[in-house]
Amino acid sequence: MNDNEHILKHIAKEASAGYDRKIMDYIHNAATHGLYEIRGMGAKRALPNFDDLVLLGASLSRYPLEGYREKCATKTILGTRFASKPIELEIPITIAGMSFGALSANVKESLGRAATELGTSTTTGDGGMTAEERQSSKTLVYQCLPSRYGFNPDDVRRADAIEIVIGQGAKPGGGGMLLGQKISPRVAKMRTLPEGIDQRSACRHPDWTGPDDLVIKIQELREMTDWEKPIYIKVGATRTFHDVKLAVHAGADVIVVDGMQGGTAATQTCFIEHVGIPTLAALRQAVDALEDLNMKGKVQLIISGGVRTGADVAKALAMGADAVAIGQGVLYALGCNHDAYTLDGLVHSACNDYANLGTAAGFCHHCHTGRCPVGITTQDEQLAQRLMPDLGAKRLKNYLKTLNMELTTLARACGKQNVHHLEREDLAAMTIEAAAMARLPLAGTDWIPGF
């Protein structure tokens, strides 16, 4: 082989950075179908996240608590601003809103049971409240979404708190799309739509258009419930500093900020990957806004979007959140992307089912198809049997319990008797990006980029 042939061979194998395999597939698909991709779950791209922070455990300058002996309180109270009946939770880890329709009824029941056993809350989703989830959830947050599918005053009265959803971290500014294959007779009835059609969800509420209207909308919900229930406002993370300020102005008791790592049942991939800001950045902006208004602690803050572990929870609390909400982590705990499921006490392989979807365990993001191999995001009666409420509740309870144990262990290591005493002082950043976004010093320095 002469020199020229060597060079040509090398060039033949050199991938283009701008047009890699992924972007080529995207262009080939767009050219073939003339359609954008709709999929479930959250962003696949690497984003700065809680792993880019570390907790500064106590040594000499701080005094730790005995990990296996001393108690660390986790009680969390939400909605103390106006509501006469604030929410009292045993742990600061809540379950994020996910709809019946996106999830099976068995899963909704599993969420309620696990949350109740651990003394935390679960949340409805687009599509309304099911009897099973109300019955199984001691504390249930009822979402008021732009689509208003299944929204009704009886359920408002039966809820423990009301969450006005303005946006989701996976798709700020966008509506949803529940594809026809997931529209069972029950889902269709709850949403007052024909069976089998692709259901578009609106991106903005039908009866208010801006923050000044929202003030009155919130008053309506308060009047409607005699000022008993906390009102949450959930925003997708984008211009979070201003959005949080406006939510406070509108009268929120609790603000939920959902970062870019948040999941969805189904939306355009271009939204999931390209709209919004990472959870770290959003959390810092939200806390800044509350501090700026002197409302920190008066309006509680829930952060969601890529909270996966007890360490993530500890770091979120240290950054200034009062609680976290978990969606995707909950689905994984239930068995999402597992290679097997349990039916009638026997373990079965799900590998063929993943293969039929064109994917494999560990890579699946096919919630929008309704053919979930492990029975979570489906309305197919047979597939839904693959996750019965007993098993779902047990797995989820174990997961949340583990997170809480990790949270308290880490808090004690930082010398805290109460997880809500974790503070920014307890954190450092591992990367310059995380340091800049979270406004924390780079580990081992006192340097905060930009400050």
Binding site residues, ligand SF4, CB under 6 A: 40-41, 331, 336-337, 364-367, 372-374, 376-377
Judged by beta carbon distances under 5 to 8 A according to partner kind, the member of other proteins, ligand SF4, none in contact with residue 154 is other proteins
Judged by beta carbon distances under 5 to 8 A according to partner kind, the member of other proteins, ligand SF4, none in contact with residue 331 is ligand SF4
| Cα–Cα dist 323/159, whole Å | 19
DSSP symbol at 379: -
Question: Considering the complex, what minimum distance in angstroms separates the CB of residue 361 from ligand SF4?
Answer: 8
Sign of the CA dihedral running 270, 274, 275, 279: positive
216 contacts other proteins (rule: CB under 8 A): yes
| Cα–Cα dist 302/84, whole Å | 20
Please report, as residue ranges, which positions from 21 to 60 form the binding site for other proteins (by CB under 8 A): 33-35, 38
- Map residues 174-213 to x or -, x wherever contact with other proteins holds by CB under 8 A: ---x-xx----------xxxx--xx-x-x---xxx----x
User: At a CB cut-off of 8 Å and minimum separation 6, what does 97 contact?
Assistant: 123, 124, 125, 141, 143, 163, 165, 234, 325, 327
**Containing H/E element for 324?**
strand 323-326
- Phi, psi values for residue 42, rounded to 5°: -115, -165
Closer Cβ to ligand SF4, 296 or 371, answer by number: 371
Question: Considering the complex, what minimum distance in angstroms separates the CB of residue 102 from other proteins?
Answer: 17
Closer Cβ to other proteins, 83 or 427, answer by number: 83
CA angle 388–393–395, rounded 5-degree value: 100
Judged by beta carbon distances under 5 to 8 A according to partner kind, the member of other proteins, ligand SF4, none in contact with residue 376 is ligand SF4
Question: Considering the complex, what minimum distance in angstroms separates the CB of residue 348 from ligand SF4?
Answer: 14
CA angle 187–191–197, rounded 5-degree value: 70
224 contacts other proteins (rule: CB under 8 A): yes
Q: How many residues in the shown chain lie near other proteins by CB under 8 A? A: 36
Nearest to 133 by CA among 102, 163, 109, 157: 109
CB 156 within 8 A of CB 129: no
- Phi, psi values for residue 56, rounded to 5°: -95, 90
Closer Cβ to ligand SF4, 6 or 45, answer by number: 45
Name residue 38's beta-bridge partners: 268
Closer Cβ to other proteins, 210 or 358, answer by number: 210
CB 146 within 8 A of CB 99: no
Question: Considering the complex, what minimum distance in angstroms separates the CB of residue 200 from other proteins?
Answer: 7
Half-sphere CA count of 445, side-chain side, radius 13 A: 13
Closer Cβ to ligand SF4, 272 or 282, answer by number: 272
CB 170 within 8 A of CB 43: yes
71 contacts other proteins (rule: CB under 8 A): no
Judged by beta carbon distances under 5 to 8 A according to partner kind, the member of ligand SF4, other proteins, none in contact with residue 229 is none
20, 25, 70, 220: which one contacts other proteins (CB under 8 A)? Answer: 220
The two three-digit tokens of residue 177, written as one number: 């799309």
CB 392 within 8 A of CB 343: no
54, 56, 77, 156: which one contacts other proteins (CB under 8 A)? Answer: 156
Question: Considering the complex, what minimum distance in angstroms separates the CB of residue 164 from ligand SF4?
Answer: 26
Q: Which positions lie near other proteins, rule CB under 8 A?
A: 33-35, 38, 147-148, 151-154, 156-157, 177, 179-180, 191-194, 197-198, 200, 202, 206-208, 213, 216-217, 219-220, 223-227
